[in-house]
Amino acid sequence: MPTWEQFERRVVSTANVLLAGALAATAALVALAVTVSWGGRAALFGLVTGLVTGMFALLRDRLPGAYAAVAGLAVAAVATPIASAFELPREPGPASILALSVLVGAAIRRQPVVWGGLVTAAYAVIVVGSHLLAPATSSGTVTGFAVLGWLGAVTTGLSLRLVDLRRRYSADQVRRDERLALARELHDVAAHHLTGIVVQTQAARIVARTRPAEVADALAEIETAAAEALTATRRVVGVLRDSGDAPPTTPQPEGLADLVRRFPGPPVDLRTPPEYASGAAWPPELATTVYRIVQESLTNVARHAPGARQVSVTVESPVDGVLTVRVADDGPATSSGLSSGVLSSGVMSSGVMSSGVMSSGSSHGLLGMRERVSALGGTLTAGPAPGGGWVVSASLPAPGARGSSAPAGTSDEAGTVR
């Protein structure tokens, strides 16, 4: 499914095609009407003005800042007194009003408040000026159309601006929640590494009394363990944590099999390398991220791929310091994800699965997963599979993981689990 940005680009492209057609039709109809009542020269002036303003409306996303809106307003501001001085039909005409409304609405939505306010005020001045410069015998239809265009631009621009603000706030909230979850795991990560350092230090003291010649090797092991602890801590340090305590959130390695076993959807073919099941060869933050990716993906299958008959979860042994996680289902492409391309929350609705496995959440799971994977220096992709279904794939740096490059599926956990 397309991401929100891709979906928005398609909508904008379609809207531009419709806008171009509407501008061309409006300009042609007005030119025909003016030709009948005013003559061809009068129609030519209005036609050129409308097409030039419409061109800026169609190029509004290609020009930086509010340049398109300013240029369109400038054309209308110049055309209005010219039309009045030469007793031509009033400007801006219907085509120009349509283009100006699109330009001003887009500026209100995307530009800073100051620029949005300025172009809104400038449009209002043009509308009032056009009315004041119009002949006394002129119909008020064009003025009414201009007022409606101004109101429509302001209303639509502010509404879309509010939608964008809410979407950004929601995305920021998801990032914040995911970072808070990472921060809560900092205690578990630090405790894991520091406990090993303490144990090795105690052993080094014994070695120093009994076998002094081996002290250097013991100290080297302590140094290595400390370096690993520093690397792991740096990956999550700096993320603020809520003041309230929360229970440890780092799942144990065997939790992945338990997660799959409790999954209420179609059968899951889980394949993991031997070292993952032991839990001793991988850093805790790496094992946790693998767990969360699988959790997110299974949640998405349960909510948005009811037609799926099989799900495969593959965790491959690190190769050249990179570990790969892949979750794929065979459900219809139209039901494997949300229309915006954002996966469902990584925690399923409470009651679907038992406590500690999945709970309620929002609808920004993919965004949260990308934040988590990015914090580890990895990459995450999600999209429809060529043969149908949906695939989530993540590549994670695994400098501290130990394991062979044997293919996934060699562990005792491999096999179909319901």
The string of pLDDT tens digits covering residues 116-127 is 999 999 999 999
Q: Does residue 174 surpass a pLDDT of 60?
A: yes
pLDDT of residue 107: 95
Q: Are 83 and 134 in contact (CB under 8 A)?
A: no
Mean pLDDT value across residues 82-105: 92
pLDDT grade for 39, boundaries at 50, 70 and 90: confident
Query: Of the candidates 138, 24, 118, 134, which has an alpha carbon nearest to the alpha carbon of residue 70?
Result: 118
Distance CA 336, CA 303 (A): 8
Q: Does residue 352 surpass a pLDDT of 50?
A: no
Mean pLDDT value across residues 309-335: 84
Lowest mean pLDDT of 10-14, 239-243, 297-301, 391-395, name the range: 239-243
Fold of the CATH domain 254-417: Heat Shock Protein 90 (3.30.565)
Longest dimension (CA), the chain: 112
Query: Of the candidates 417, 384, 380, 378, which has an alpha carbon nearest to the alpha carbon of residue 401?
Result: 378
Which residues make Cβ contacts (< 8 Å) with residue 135, sequence separation at least 6? Answer: 87
Mean pLDDT value across residues 202-231: 78
Q: Are 146 and 97 in contact (CB under 8 A)?
A: yes
pLDDT of residue 233: 67
Lowest mean pLDDT of 12-26, 121-135, 347-361, name the range: 347-361
pLDDT grade for 137, boundaries at 50, 70 and 90: low
Distance CA 390, CA 158 (A): 36
Q: Are 268 and 295 in contact (CB under 8 A)?
A: no
Distance CA 94, CA 77 (A): 15
SS3 assignment, position 411? coil
- What number of other Cβ atoms are within 10 A of residue 380's Cβ? 20
Mean pLDDT value across residues 400-409: 45
Q: Does residue 4 surpass a pLDDT of 90?
A: no
pLDDT of residue 48: 93
Mean pLDDT value across residues 223-247: 59
Query: Beta strands 379-384 and 311-315: pairing type?
Result: unpaired
- What number of other Cβ atoms are within 10 A of residue 350's Cβ? 12
pLDDT of residue 224: 76
Mean pLDDT value across residues 95-112: 95
- Provide the sign of the torsion angle of the four alpha carbons 140, 141, 142, 147, taken in this order: positive
Q: Which amino acid is at 39?
A: G
pLDDT grade for 196, boundaries at 50, 70 and 90: confident
Residue pointed to by tokens 């139209």: 334
Tens of pLDDT, residues 354-381: 323 333 333 456 777 887 888 888 999 9
pLDDT of residue 77: 95
pLDDT of residue 273: 82
pLDDT of residue 281: 58
pLDDT of residue 245: 43
- Provide the sign of the torsion angle of the four alpha carbons 171, 172, 177, 180, taken in this order: positive
Q: Are 50 and 93 in contact (CB under 8 A)?
A: yes
Query: Beta strands 311-315 and 268-271: pairing type?
Result: parallel
Q: Which amino acid is at 343?
A: L
As beta bridge partners, residue 108 has: none
Q: Does residue 57 surpass a pLDDT of 50?
A: yes
Q: Does residue 258 surpass a pLDDT of 60?
A: yes
Query: Of the candidates 347, 368, 369, which has an alpha carbon nearest to the alpha carbon of residue 359?
Result: 347
Lowest mean pLDDT of 43-47, 162-166, 182-186, 399-403, name the range: 399-403
Mean pLDDT value across residues 239-247: 44
Q: Are 98 and 72 in contact (CB under 8 A)?
A: no
Q: Is the model more confident about 166 or about 400? A: 166
Q: Does residue 159 surpass a pLDDT of 80?
A: yes
DSSP state of 213: G
Mean pLDDT estimate for the chain: 78
Overall residue count recorded for the chain in this entry: 418
Mean pLDDT value across residues 223-245: 60
pLDDT grade for 104, boundaries at 50, 70 and 90: very high
Which residues make Cβ contacts (< 8 Å) with residue 87, sequence separation at least 6? Answer: 135
| Complete edge-to-edge strand list for the sheet that includes strand 268-271 | 379-384, 390-397, 322-329, 311-315, 268-271, 415-417
Mean pLDDT value across residues 311-323: 88
pLDDT grade for 253, boundaries at 50, 70 and 90: low
Distance CA 119, CA 157 (A): 12
Q: Does residue 151 surpass a pLDDT of 60?
A: yes
Q: Angle of helix 284-304 relative to helix 254-261, nearest 10 degrees?
A: 10
Q: Does residue 190 surpass a pLDDT of 50?
A: yes
Q: Does residue 267 surpass a pLDDT of 80?
A: yes
Q: Is the model more confident about 107 or about 238? A: 107
pLDDT of residue 88: 86
